[in-house]
């Protein structure tokens, strides 16, 4: 539990200190209700202090040789390796992460740190020709300056690191606000890792606070030029509106309503495995999760029998138990909301093939079939262990049903014919889609992001260079220009 004692603070300009707000954010274990930490909130004044510290530190950090900058990430990677057991315990305690989820998250944290080492060297300039004799056009890739990062609760360490590490690697400074349900894994641990890795004071600052205290100060502040937000569509729309009003660029990774599609020639046993993982990993609290499983009627009966049997076998309980598949949702409010969604869907005509009970924050899986085509639930993001089985007749109807949602983040299609799968995938209105695999994937060099209401912009690889740097044109006239007057 030392992490919850050591880093339950604000981290501003290299100092761990208490917030000056009049109330505390209280951090609870979602499984057993244990109080993990209590953190006085940061005020708008401390938001200003964090951004000003970042502004000062960034000027020197941007001048550091990129080969030297990358050494910070090498050391950070070693720290993650050395403290894996402690980090695992922290994620399990604060997030309710199961053994499989914790391993998945820490694996990707390592991969993103490795990629950050390479990103430090990837801000490449260009020299372009000119129609004017003697003119040289140079394009420089420069850091944007300061980036504001707002991270969510579901994969807090990973999704904070996913923006923080590349932004810093590219010469920027960062002010990070973790979700109030995960202030340690999403904020304090990130700061601690980089502090121990030797990152200069002020380059990374962490503020634990809430909109009820600071309003829109984190977004409106004049220092940050880019806001990187991962979270719900509702909050993302607000972030986008405020950022645009202040001429800031916003990178928005928002919700999803992904479909895993099973065509008539799919390997059904394999498709069942992929669908169960895609829906129920981390209790379904994943933006890429397969809310909907679409199955061709030719194989619907066989698939449904296998799928329901596997879902019914999933163990619900203590996330620390390595045998647990389904741990707690992040809080009782979320558990109640998910349960209410199931109840409403059943009342409106859906059939509960599996109807899981709710006990506190533990929500057992539910599988809903016979969902009316006009049901509201088909268009929703269900951030919990509930899946909708939807039959279709042929590929054309499958495409129509898959696209019948305001979201467009991820997806998957299963078929024995790879090129059929590719043709299908091209017609789906998502930023990402996977053939003969699950819907939940993230790779550091592949652009990650969605279409429609699932977000704006991309992260990872070259896309993150575009997001966290700006292009400056410097022209040089060798000789004398001729002016018309």
**Distance (Å, whole) CA 58 – CA 147:** 10
From the candidates 46, 94, 253, 381, give the one annotated as an active-site residue.
253
Closest CA to 259 of 225, 293, 230, 235: 293
The gap from C-alpha 376 to its chain's centroid, in whole angstroms, comes to 25
185 in catalytic set:
no
CB atoms within 10 A of CB 82: 11
Q: Tell me if 155 sits within 8 A of 123, measured CB to CB.
A: no
**Distance (Å, whole) CA 468 – CA 141:** 10
From the candidates 46, 195, 213, 287, give the one annotated as an active-site residue.
287
Cα dist from 261 to 277, 433, 434, 436, 448, whole Å? 14, 11, 10, 10, 21
- Dihedral sign, Cα of residue 264, residue 269, residue 274, residue 277: positive
**Distance (Å, whole) CA 483 – CA 286:** 60
191 class by beta-carbon count within 10 Å (0-12 exposed, 13-18 middle, 19+ buried)? buried
The gap from C-alpha 11 to its chain's centroid, in whole angstroms, comes to 22
- Dihedral sign, Cα of residue 69, residue 74, residue 79, residue 80: positive
**Distance (Å, whole) CA 152 – CA 220:** 20
CB atoms within 10 A of CB 482: 7
Cα dist from 164 to 49, 116, 158, 186, whole Å? 19, 10, 10, 11
The DSSP element (H or E) to which 201 belongs, if any, is none
DSSP letter string, 397-437: HHHHHHH-SSEES-EEEE-S-HHHHHHHHHTS-SS--EESS
Q: Tell me if 460 sits within 8 A of 446, measured CB to CB.
A: yes
Q: Where are the beta strands (DSSP E) in 277-316?
A: 290-296
287 in catalytic set:
yes
Crossing angle of helices 189-196 and 156-169, in 10° steps, is: 40
Residue 435 backbone phi and psi in degrees, to 5? -95, 125
Residue with tokens 């641990």: 189
**Distance (Å, whole) CA 445 – CA 317:** 35
Length of the chain: 485
Question: Catalytic residues, which ones?
Answer: 253, 287
């Amino acid at each position: 539990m030392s992490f919850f004692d050591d880093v339950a603070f604000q981290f501003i300009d290299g100092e761990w200190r208490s917030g000056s707000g009049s109330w505390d954010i209280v951090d609870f274990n979602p499984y057993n209700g244990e109080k993990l930490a209590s953190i006085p909130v940061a005020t708008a004044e401390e938001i200003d202090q964090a951004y000003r510290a970042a502004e000062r530190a960034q000027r020197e950090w941007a001048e550091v040789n990129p080969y030297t900058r990358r050494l910070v990430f090498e050391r950070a990677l070693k720290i993650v390796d050395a403290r894996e057991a402690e980090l695992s315990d922290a994620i399990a305690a604060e997030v309710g992460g199961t053994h499989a989820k914790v391993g998945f998250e820490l694996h990707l944290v390592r991969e993103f740190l490795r990629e950050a080492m390479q990103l430090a060297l990837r801000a490449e300039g260009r020299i372009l020709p000119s129609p004017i004799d003697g003119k040289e056009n140079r394009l420089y890739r420069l850091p944007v300056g300061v980036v504001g990062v707002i991270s969510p609760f579901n994969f807090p360490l990973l999704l904070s690191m996913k923006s923080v590490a590349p932004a810093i690697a590219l010469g920027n400074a960062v002010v990070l606000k973790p979700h109030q349900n995960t202030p340690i894994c999403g904020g304090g641990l990130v700061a601690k890792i980089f502090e121990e890795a030797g990152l200069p004071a002020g380059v990374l600052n962490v503020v634990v606070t809430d909109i009820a205290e600071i309003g829109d100060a984190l977004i409106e502040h004049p220092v940050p030029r880019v806001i990187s937000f991962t979270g719900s569509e509702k909050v993302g729309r607000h972030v986008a509106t405020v950022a645009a009003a202040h001429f800031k660029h916003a990178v928005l990774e928002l919700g999803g309503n992904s479909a895993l599609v099973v065509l008539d020639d799919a390997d059904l046993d394999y498709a069942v495995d992929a669908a169960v993982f895609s829906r129920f990993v981390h209790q379904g609290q994943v933006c890429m999760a397969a809310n909907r499983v679409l199955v061709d009627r030719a194989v619907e009966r066989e698939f449904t029998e296998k799928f329901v049997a596997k879902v019914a076998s999933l163990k619900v309980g203590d996330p620390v138990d390595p045998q647990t598949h389904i741990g707690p949702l992040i809080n009782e409010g979320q558990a109640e909301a998910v349960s209410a969604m199931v109840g409403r869907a059943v009342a409106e005509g859906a059939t509960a093939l599996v109807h899981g009970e709710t006990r506190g924050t533990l929500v057992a899986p539910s599988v809903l079939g016979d969902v009316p085509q006009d049901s509201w639930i088909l268009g929703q993001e269900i951030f919990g262990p509930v899946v909708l089985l939807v039959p279709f007749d042929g590929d054309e109807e499958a495409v129509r049903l898959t696209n019948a949602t305001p979201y467009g983040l991820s997806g998957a299609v299963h078929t024995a014919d790879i090129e059929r799968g590719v043709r299908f995938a091209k017609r789906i209105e998502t930023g990402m889609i996977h053939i003969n695999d699950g819907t939940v994937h993230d790779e550091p060099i592949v652009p990650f992001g969605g279409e429609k209401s699932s977000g704006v912009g991309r992260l990872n690889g070259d896309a993150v260079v575009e997001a966290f740097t700006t292009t400056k044109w410097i022209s040089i006239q060798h000789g004398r220009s001729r002016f018309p007057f």
